[in-house]
Amino acid sequence: MDEEFDAKVTPWEVEGIIDYDRLIYEFGVKKISKREIELTREVVGEVHPLISRGVFYAHRDYDVFLRKYREGISTALYTGRGPSGNVHLGHILPWIFTKWLQDKLGIDLFFEFTDDEKFLYHRDFTLDDVRSLTRENIIDLISLGFDPGKTHIIVDIDDIGYLYELAVRIAKKITFSTIRAVMGFNSSTNIGMIFYPTLQIAVCFLPTELYGKETYVLIPAAIDQDPYWRLARDIATSLGYPKPTQIHAKFLPGLGIGGKMSSSQPETAIFLIDPPELAREKVMNSFTGGQPTAELQRKLGGNPDICPVYKYYEMMFEDRDDKLRERYLNCKGGSLLCGPCKSELADRVAKFLVKHQEIRDSAKDRIDEFLIRNKF
Amino acid sequence: MDEEFDAKVTPWEVEGIIDYDRLIYEFGVKKISKREIELTREVVGEVHPLISRGVFYAHRDYDVFLRKYREGISTALYTGRGPSGNVHLGHILPWIFTKWLQDKLGIDLFFEFTDDEKFLYHRDFTLDDVRSLTRENIIDLISLGFDPGKTHIIVDIDDIGYLYELAVRIAKKITFSTIRAVMGFNSSTNIGMIFYPTLQIAVCFLPTELYGKETYVLIPAAIDQDPYWRLARDIATSLGYPKPTQIHAKFLPGLGIGGKMSSSQPETAIFLIDPPELAREKVMNSFTGGQPTAELQRKLGGNPDICPVYKYYEMMFEDRDDKLRERYLNCKGGSLLCGPCKSELADRVAKFLVKHQEIRDSAKDRIDEFLIRNKF
């Protein structure tokens, strides 16, 4: 049995070892090629490592978005978060990229917190639970340095007034058969979950409504969200909006063997509110691509391709390509052992958390500056 | 084949000759008995002809509502309208009764206009269509003399902020299986229609939220709406609200043979914006329970029990029981012919419309006084 067949990628479940090439085929998206990388360089002025290293690796009309931007046509960014737990490093990977794009392009970002979805999905969640998580998640988001003048947070339940009319127009175009097929629902799914996708789709069209002019929207997000965008693109034209465009990321792996970083395995996830020392411990206890003994490692070399520690350098903690390459070769060649490699990552992670948690304290009072309801 | 089996009564379709006793059995509601009529007299101070004549004929916990009111516990009224066309006499029958209750009890009425539902249900409706109908329907409603201090109009799309949090809590309790069974949906139903019932249910619980105390809600409405209330009652306790109570009305018949007054057969419906002369013509062209000729009528008598003209006197245009009884007996006895009986009804209908349309002109400027968003 192929390992690929064990992997499950839906907006609510990502399990097993993911074959990203297979997802391109299954979801019907395009791989980011040299062409899109060069277009990024032309339009944005530089290429973020998350693109050049293939973390953002697939897309739908990312090139169209860049060309529209270059032509001076109205554009906006959109991404979001389901507040089902504390924010971990895996969550912020697309946010870091989104912030880079926003800084470079100077355009608005609409950021949706889907409190309704998470309340509806998790049997035991109360509204107070998701409210409290939403607030904490917002604080993590704004602590990353987003521009409050250009970053507009939508909290579904509180800001439903911005979305419901769009949602109703969207809902009229989608039957239960369709949503069942696209989202994997069944007859036991509650009717809130069945309707919810209209709200995630609605934000694709919201900038056009708020600006009063045709606006091309780019959504940087993890690839598991693709079913929403597929639906959104199917109905966009008939509703009078440009098709939303996407750039899809791979998942940051957890610190264990295989699978994405997940809140349900807290010992393999680095949360943004983890005490730095705890995070350091988690890194030091990480699975690696190393050999059973230092001696064997020196002789045979390690395997960075399956190593989460290496992946963290690649995806988040080593900006310089030359340094990353050096680390890769030294690991393969056996001159870099897992101990020092993990230790250095632990330092960088801890340093990041210390700084983040400092900013976090003052960010608590700045939430209002980011809420869409205070601006549009 | 029993005629009853031809009748279809759902919130979206009422067709054929309705066996109201059978609906009591099918829907599992209770018939209004002498006990409830006497309780009404005790608590309200009098009994409206629509109860004593059996037009409001069934209920769920109407007696509980009256007793709670008598005990001084917080209560409110709730009814509504799906703005799918112009308002006709059939629509206002429950409103007239609701206004009477409101006047007598001095309590708030929450009135929901389900513009989302009608947009979602009717393939060809645009949002502009339902917006315009909603506005016109609101004008008809307030022209009936409701107290703006105690009457709070909710327009679903515009006022979704009052409803969505409740709707999400409700939605979490209802699976697709349940909504399919209760509402007669199928896989081709759009996901807006599937979610919509949560909004009609939400208003049952809104007064408790707005007042900040447990509030018993009575819903006077036509019996086809019962599926919503059945669902609402099933989940009320688990959400921490009193079960909403109902008093169910029969339908005002159309001017043709059998069936309720319906916008889809405009020649058999009296619209509140009909020119009075047109309404008069419609009444004069009505089907009746009379004999083919005046001679036969004098000899055999008419049949008021199947006659829409008689029903209009009974349900809306003859307050005095003695006069109604006289008309019934004179028809049966053959001394009252259809011509004069229709002519007198036509006069009363025309008089009502002239007065209504006068008030209507000035009501156009008073909409704001009734909108919930200007008050809570």
Q: What is the pLDDT of residues A317-375, one digit of tens each?
A: 999 999 999 999 999 999 999 999 999 999 999 999 999 999 999 999 999 999 999 99
pLDDT in tens, A359-375: 999 999 999 999 999 99
Q: Do B191 and A176 touch (CB under 8 A)?
A: yes
Chain A interface residues (partner B, CB cutoff 8 A): 116, 119-120, 127, 157, 160-161, 164-165, 167-169, 171-177, 179-180, 185-195, 197-198
Q: Residue B307: which of B337, B266, B281 has the closest Cα?
A: B337
- Rounded to a whole number of angstroms, the distance from the CA of A123 to the nearest CA of chain B is 8
Task: Specify which residues A80 forms β-bridges with.
Answer: A112
Which residues, including other chains, have CB under 8 Å from residue B38's CB and lie 6 or more apart? none
- For chain B, the first-to-last Cα distance in angstroms comes to 53
- Minimal Cβ distance to A120: which of B127, B160, B171: B171
The whole-number average pLDDT for the span A243-253 is: 97
Q: How confident is the model at residue A13 (pLDDT cuts 50, 70, 90)?
A: confident
Torsion of CA B285, B289, B290, B292, to 10 degrees: 80
SS3 (DSSP) at A275: coil
Q: What is the rounded distance in angstroms from the CA atom of residue A251 to the CA atom of residue A173?
A: 31
Structure-block tokens of residue A34: 């040299």
In a mutational test of the A interface, the residue from B185, B195, B205 whose CB has the highest number of chain A CBs within 10 Å is B195
Is the pLDDT assigned to residue B2 strictly greater than 50? Answer: no
Q: Do B194 and A192 touch (CB under 8 A)?
A: no
Tell me whether residue A103 is exposed, middle or buried, using C-beta atoms within 10 angstroms of its C-beta: 0 to 12, 13 to 18, 19 or more: middle
pLDDT score, position B11: 86
Nearest chain B residue to A122 by CA distance is B172
pLDDT score, position B6: 54
The whole-number average pLDDT for the span A289-300 is: 95
Is the pLDDT assigned to residue B18 strictly greater than 90? Answer: no
Q: Do A175 and B168 touch (CB under 8 A)?
A: no
- Minimal Cβ distance to B187: which of A173, A177, A192: A177
Nearest chain B residue to A179 by CA distance is B191
DSSP, residue by residue, A97-123: HHHHHHHHHT--EEEEE-HHHHHHH-T
B35-53: buried (b, 16+ CB within 10 Å) or exposed (e) per residue? Answer: ebeebbeebbeeebbbbeb
Q: Residue B144: which of B376, B355, B289 has the closest Cα?
A: B355
Phi, psi of B253 (to 5 degrees): -70, 160
pLDDT score, position B372: 98
DSSP, residue by residue, B66-106: HHHHHTT--EEEEEEE--SS--BHHHHHHHHHHHHHHHHH-
Structure-block tokens of residue A170: 């969207």
Q: Do A171 and B191 touch (CB under 8 A)?
A: yes
Q: What is the rounded distance in angstroms from the CA atom of residue B306 to the CA atom of residue A60?
A: 65
- Rounded to a whole number of angstroms, the distance from the CA of A189 to the nearest CA of chain B is 5
SS3 (DSSP) at B18: coil
- Rounded to a whole number of angstroms, the distance from the CA of A239 to the nearest CA of chain B is 11
- Rounded to a whole number of angstroms, the distance from the CA of A198 to the nearest CA of chain B is 9
pLDDT score, position B1: 36
- Minimal Cβ distance to A160: which of B116, B164, B185: B164
Q: How far is CA B46 from CA B30, B50, B73, in A?
A: 21, 12, 20
Q: Do A172 and B192 touch (CB under 8 A)?
A: yes
Nearest chain A residue to B164 by CA distance is A157
Q: What is the rounded distance in angstroms from the CA atom of residue B192 to the CA atom of residue B98?
A: 29
Q: How confident is the model at residue A2 (pLDDT cuts 50, 70, 90)?
A: very low
Structure-block tokens of residue A228: 């929403």
Q: Do A119 and B168 touch (CB under 8 A)?
A: yes
Q: How confident is the model at residue A3 (pLDDT cuts 50, 70, 90)?
A: very low
Tell me which of A41-55, A128-142, A151-165, A254-268 is least confident.
A254-268
Angle between helices B34-44 and B62-70 (to 10 degrees): 20
Q: Do B179 and A191 touch (CB under 8 A)?
A: yes
Q: What is the rounded distance in angstroms from the CA atom of residue A88 to the CA atom of residue A175?
A: 35
pLDDT in tens, B298-354: 999 999 999 999 999 999 999 999 999 999 999 999 999 999 999 999 999 999 999
Which pairs from A53-56 meet CB under 8 Å and 24+ separation? A53/A314, A53/A315, A53/A324, A54/A250, A55/A93, A55/A97, A55/A249, A55/A250, A55/A314, A55/A315, A56/A32, A56/A97, A56/A220, A56/A247, A56/A248, A56/A249
- What is the percent of chain A with per-residue pLDDT over 90, rounded to a whole number? 93
Q: How confident is the model at residue A4 (pLDDT cuts 50, 70, 90)?
A: very low
Q: Which residues of A are less than 8 Å from B195 in CB distance?
A: 171, 191-192, 194-195
pTM over 0.90? The answer is yes
Between chain A and chain B, how many beta carbons pairs sit less than 8 Å apart? 108
Instruction: Tell me what the pLDDT averaged over chain B comes to.
Output: 95
A246 touches A226 (CB < 8 A): yes
Give chain A's domains with CATH numbers: 3-251 (3.40.50.620), 266-362 (1.10.240.10)
Chain B interface residues (partner A, CB cutoff 8 A): 116, 119-120, 127, 157, 160-161, 164-165, 167-169, 171-177, 179-180, 185-195, 197-198
SS3 (DSSP) at B345: helix
SS3 (DSSP) at B148: coil
pLDDT in tens, B158-169: 999 999 999 999
pLDDT score, position A125: 97
**Which one-letter amino acid corresponds to residue A32?**
I
Q: Do A164 and B127 touch (CB under 8 A)?
A: no
- Rounded to a whole number of angstroms, the distance from the CA of A361 to the nearest CA of chain B is 30
Instruction: Tell me what the pLDDT averaged over chain A comes to.
Output: 95
A48 touches A97 (CB < 8 A): yes
Q: Residue A229: which of A249, A209, A201 has the closest Cα?
A: A201
pLDDT in tens, B56-67: 999 999 999 999
Q: Do B172 and A190 touch (CB under 8 A)?
A: yes
- Minimal Cβ distance to B189: which of A169, A176, A198: A176
SS3 (DSSP) at A124: coil
A134 touches A363 (CB < 8 A): no
In a mutational test of the B interface, the residue from A172, A179, A196 whose CB has the highest number of chain B CBs within 10 Å is A172
Predicted complex ipTM: 0.95
Which residues, including other chains, have CB under 8 Å from residue A151's CB and lie 6 or more apart? A102, A108, A109, A111, A142, A370
Q: How confident is the model at residue A83 (pLDDT cuts 50, 70, 90)?
A: very high
The whole-number average pLDDT for the span A210-217 is: 98
Q: Give all strands (DSSP E) within chain B, no chain letters.
A: 8-10, 13-15, 30-31, 56-60, 75-81, 109-113, 151-155, 216-222, 245-249
- Rounded to a whole number of angstroms, the distance from the CA of B312 to the nearest CA of chain A is 38
- Rounded to a whole number of angstroms, the distance from the CA of B197 to the nearest CA of chain A is 9
pLDDT score, position A71: 98
Nearest chain A residue to B197 by CA distance is A191
SS3 (DSSP) at B136: helix
Please give the residue that has the higher pLDDT: either A286 or A14.
A286
Tell me which of A247-261, A278-292, B214-228 is least confident.
A247-261
pLDDT score, position B4: 39
The whole-number average pLDDT for the span B203-208 is: 98
- Minimal Cβ distance to B191: which of A116, A157, A179: A179
Q: Do B192 and A195 touch (CB under 8 A)?
A: yes
For A126: left if phi > 0, alpha if psi spans -120 to 50, otherwise beta; the answer is beta
SS3 (DSSP) at B111: strand
Q: Do B192 and A188 touch (CB under 8 A)?
A: no
The whole-number average pLDDT for the span A58-75 is: 98
Q: Which residues of B are less than 8 Å from A161 in CB distance?
A: 160-161
Is the pLDDT assigned to residue B202 strictly greater than 70? Answer: yes
- Minimal Cβ distance to A194: which of B119, B169, B176: B176
Q: Which residues of B are less than 8 Å from A120 in CB distance?
A: 168, 171-172
Torsion of CA A13, A17, A20, A23, to 10 degrees: -50
pLDDT score, position B67: 98
Q: Which residues of B are less than 8 Å from A127 in CB distance?
A: 165, 168-169
Q: Do A164 and B164 touch (CB under 8 A)?
A: yes
B203 touches B154 (CB < 8 A): yes
Nearest chain A residue to B160 by CA distance is A161
pLDDT score, position B272: 98
B16 touches B7 (CB < 8 A): yes
Q: Which residues of B are less than 8 Å from A177 in CB distance?
A: 187-188
Q: Which residues of B are less than 8 Å from A180 in CB distance?
A: 187
- Rounded to a whole number of angstroms, the distance from the CA of B203 to the nearest CA of chain A is 17
B182 touches B196 (CB < 8 A): no
- Rg of the Cα atoms in chain A: 21
- Rounded to a whole number of angstroms, the distance from the CA of A214 to the nearest CA of chain B is 20
* Number of CB atoms found within 10 A of residue A262's CB: 18
Q: How far is CA B6 from CA A242, B9, B191, in A?
A: 47, 10, 29
Nearest chain A residue to B161 by CA distance is A161
Phi, psi of A221 (to 5 degrees): -160, 165
Task: Specify which residues A15 forms β-bridges with.
Answer: A8
Q: Which residues of A are less than 8 Å from B160 in CB distance?
A: 160-161, 164
Nearest chain A residue to B158 by CA distance is A161
